[in-house]
Structure 1
Amino acid sequence: MDPNPALLLDLSFRVLVAILLGAAIGLERQWRLRSAGLRTNALVSVGAALFVIVGAVGIEGSNADPTRVAAQIVSGIGFLGAGVILRDGLNIRGLTTAATLWCAAAIGALAGSGMLLMALIGATAIVATNTLLRPISRWVNLHTGQKKAGTLELDDDSSTDYVLEVVTTDKSEQRVRALLLQAVDRPEYTLRSLDIRPGKSSQMKLLAGVSATHSGDTDGLQLAVQRISLDPKVTSSRWWPADTDD
């Protein structure tokens, strides 16, 4: 039986809030070139909201148990989170992204149950944790001098992940993209991601996530920047170490 118009409007608003908050959480992940970005977190959030709505409204009678549906979301999202966790030698990647997906499901469950203010507070706390605590984490790593061995923290100086940024015009984006891919096509590097973002004044920003086989091997990146900078359509190019625990 379909719900009355007032209930349908309320449930639709809950789903909309779940999408917006999930997208806000995923925007930070996608900005940092992580595997689970804006759409993934938005889908996880809205999916959790829909499951909660089904348990609370769609199922009637003695079989109705919203808490059981929420419990299944908590355990089921772990399989999706495991897909973004990768082991690369002694390094483990994707833990923060997997935890963010788990949190996005919690935000969707809150929105689906009608706790919209709590969902907003939770989403704000998640985004703040992924952004504001990042410099604190780096400061702790720098002053404790810990190296990553399994689950230990990694000092920034020994990072094997890098981001290569190239800024060009929108008309030259395809040619510069090919030049960028050719520049990082080296045996000691592995291209993990390529993101293209609009910039100011009809400019395009190309961001390539690159992993080095050996820690501290940046000579090839420096050479790539020099080669790309020779192109007259390239406004700027640079590289910097990326975080490995996300």
Structure 2
Amino acid sequence: MWQSLLGDEVGVQLMLLGSAFVLCSVIGVERQVRRKSAGYSTHVLVGLGACIFTLISAYGFSGLAGADTPHDPTRIAAQVVSGIGFLGAGVIFKGSSTVRGLTTAGSIWITAAVGMACAAGMVALAAVATVGYLITLLVFAPLVRKIPTDSADTDIRVVYTDGTGAMRHILEVASSNGFSTSFEGSRKTQTKDGATVVTVDLRFLGGAAPQTMIPALTEIPGMRSVKSTKALATAEGEDVD
């Protein structure tokens, strides 16, 4: 069908590669806007690489196929799937009690799948997968975060003096109390006395309420403030996610 539209295999290959470029660019832009470690360039290169390898597998060795050399176009594609797993693992950061980069690793995985689907001529499937990716991250994920949990107060905002090593002690306290910790955001500011303070929003997940740790967190050297974000939002008259 493709050859009847474009006339030759080269035209087909270039069109499929262009489709992979466009769709993978959409995924890469989303990651770039969110300032992730693997941004636009990484995702486009992964998608194009997966597409090229699949095209090579489908077209590159067809002339060598014969009775004694059967052509199996799935071999290189299967190796692409295995290789992308190592690349995805490289963007995952695991601390003593935190794991970050899982979504970016998943985006790299689906980018490779989109590239391979384009190379296989399944452009419609690749386009639907790209749309599904965007809907999942931009629509459903924010909605899921709004669903109330058993403990609504899982987020705590801490303010500490920069350079005191307070974050290391925070993670130690959380770990010793059975909590896993994720970073929701941070910023540095200057106080009137010239000191640099760091404000960090943390999410603690565990069996008990995170508020039980507040007394221990306030005793950490360099700590200036420890409050639940729900209490902060209530004080400011805001809605709590």
* Normalised-by-shorter TM-score class: 0.5 to 0.7
Task: Quickly say closer, same or farther: Cα 1:7–1:32, change in 2 above 3 A.
Answer: same
Give, as a single letter, the amino acid of the residue that structure 2 aligns with 1:47.
G
Shift of 1:64: 2.4
Give yes or no for contact 2:156–2:202 (8 Å, CA) kept in 1.
Answer: no
Give yes or no for contact 1:55–1:64 (8 Å, CA) kept in 2.
Answer: no
2:168 is the counterpart of 1:129: no
Task: Quickly say closer, same or farther: Cα 1:186–1:128, change in 2 above 3 A.
Answer: same
2:142 is the counterpart of 1:143: no
2: distance between equivalents of 1:87 and 1:159? 21
Shift of 1:10: 1.3
Give, as a single letter, the amino acid of the residue that structure 2 aligns with 1:38.
Y
Q: Which runs of 4+ in 1 moved over 6 A?
A: none
**Matched position secondary structure for 2:94:** strand
Give yes or no for contact 2:47–2:114 (8 Å, CA) kept in 1.
Answer: yes
2:208 is the counterpart of 1:223: no
The residue aligned with 2:56 is 54
**Matched position secondary structure for 1:33:** coil
1: distance between equivalents of 2:162 and 2:187? 10
Q: Give the one of 166, 186, 209 matched to 2:162.
A: 186
The residue aligned with 2:18 is 16
Task: Quickly say closer, same or farther: Cα 1:52–1:86, change in 2 above 3 A.
Answer: same
2:52 is the counterpart of 1:76: no
Shift of 1:240: 8.3
TM-score, reference length from structure 1: 0.61
Task: Quickly say closer, same or farther: Cα 1:63–1:138, change in 2 above 3 A.
Answer: same
Shift of 1:36: 0.8
Give yes or no for contact 1:70–1:109 (8 Å, CA) kept in 2.
Answer: yes
Structure 2 unaligned residues grouped into runs of 5+:
172-180, 194-198, 205-241
2:116 is the counterpart of 1:109: yes
2: distance between equivalents of 1:224 and 1:131? 33
Shift of 1:112: 0.6
**Matched position secondary structure for 1:143:** coil
Task: Quickly say closer, same or farther: Cα 1:222–1:35, change in 2 above 3 A.
Answer: closer
Give yes or no for contact 1:86–1:94 (8 Å, CA) kept in 2.
Answer: yes
Give yes or no for contact 2:93–2:101 (8 Å, CA) kept in 1.
Answer: yes
Give, as a single letter, the amino acid of the residue that structure 2 aligns with 1:123.
T
Shift of 1:222: 6.5
Structure 1 unaligned residues grouped into runs of 5+:
148-154, 161-184, 190-211, 228-238
The 5 A counterparts of 1:178-217 are 186-187=162-163, 213=168, 214=170
Total equivalences in the alignment: 177
The residue aligned with 2:34 is 32
- In our comparison, the structure showing a higher alpha carbon Rg is 2
